[in-house]
Amino acid sequence: MTGKGKVVRPFAFFRAGNQAHANPNQRPILVLEDVYKYFRPDVPTLRGVNLEVERGEFVFITGPSGAGKSTLLQLVYRKHTVDAGRILFAGRDVARLKSSSIP
């Protein structure tokens, strides 16, 4: 912690999965584009996160406590809303989907 709030710590993505059958013309199942989330105005919990996950791919998110791993997942299923950027699931903006239609 600092005098102004929590220090933003980076997290890492690790990929696993069989990409041999990936269709290069198929769009990713999940896309995060320049995603930001603030719980306090002066402290970004997530800052400029970009990620593409292909169908059949497994992504492991690792990092220390407070890095934003849980927040990232909560944004995907809309427990929280994105402050900037966007999240696409199957090509559709998650912010425009009904919460009942998000897997």
CATH code: domain 12-101 is 3.40.50.300
Q: What is the mean pLDDT of the chain?
A: 81
Residue 56 scores a pLDDT above 90: no
pLDDT value for 14: 63
Tally Cβ neighbours within 10 Å of residue 65. Answer: 7
pLDDT value for 8: 43
Rounded to whole angstroms, the Cα distance separating 79 from 67 reads: 18
Of residues 53 and 26, more confidence is placed in 53
Provide the residue ranges of all domains of the chain, joining segments of one domain with +: 12-101
pTM, two decimals, is 0.76
- For 1-20, the pLDDT digits (tens) are 333 444 444 656 666 655 54
Q: What Å distances lie between residue 86 and 21, 33, 90, CA to CA?
A: 28, 5, 13
pLDDT value for 20: 47
Instruction: Find the mean pLDDT for residues 41-60.
Output: 90
pLDDT value for 18: 55
